[in-house]
């Protein structure tokens, strides 16, 4: 199996997914695009921001509960 990354406009996304679902299950595998690297980067930036706030290096403007 080979990997291909596509960027599809919202107008055609549902039609494209419907087309993929018509194909045999063994021939197409649909995965989400959130890679572990991206998630790790976001986690690290959030941890750094929280430590900056705790250390007083940053001001808290608004807290969302």
Give residue-wise pLDDT tens across range 12-53: 888 988 888 888 888 887 776 667 777 788 888 888 888 887
Q: What is the pTM of this model?
A: 0.41
pLDDT score for 33: 63
pLDDT score for 60: 62
Q: Name which of 40, 22, 30, 42 is nearest 6 in CA terms.
A: 30
Under the banding of pLDDT at 50, 70 and 90, the label for residue 3 is confident
Q: What phi and psi, each to the nearest 5 degrees, are found at residue 64?
A: -105, 120
Measured distance CA(15)–CA(17) in Å, rounded: 6
């Amino acid at each position: 199996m080979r990997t291909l990354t596509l960027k599809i406009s919202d107008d055609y996304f549902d039609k494209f997914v419907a087309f993929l679902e018509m194909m045999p299950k063994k021939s197409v595998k649909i995965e989400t695009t959130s890679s572990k690297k991206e998630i790790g980067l976001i986690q690290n930036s959030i941890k750094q921001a929280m430590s900056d706030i705790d250390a007083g290096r940053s001001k808290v403007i608004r807290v969302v509960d």
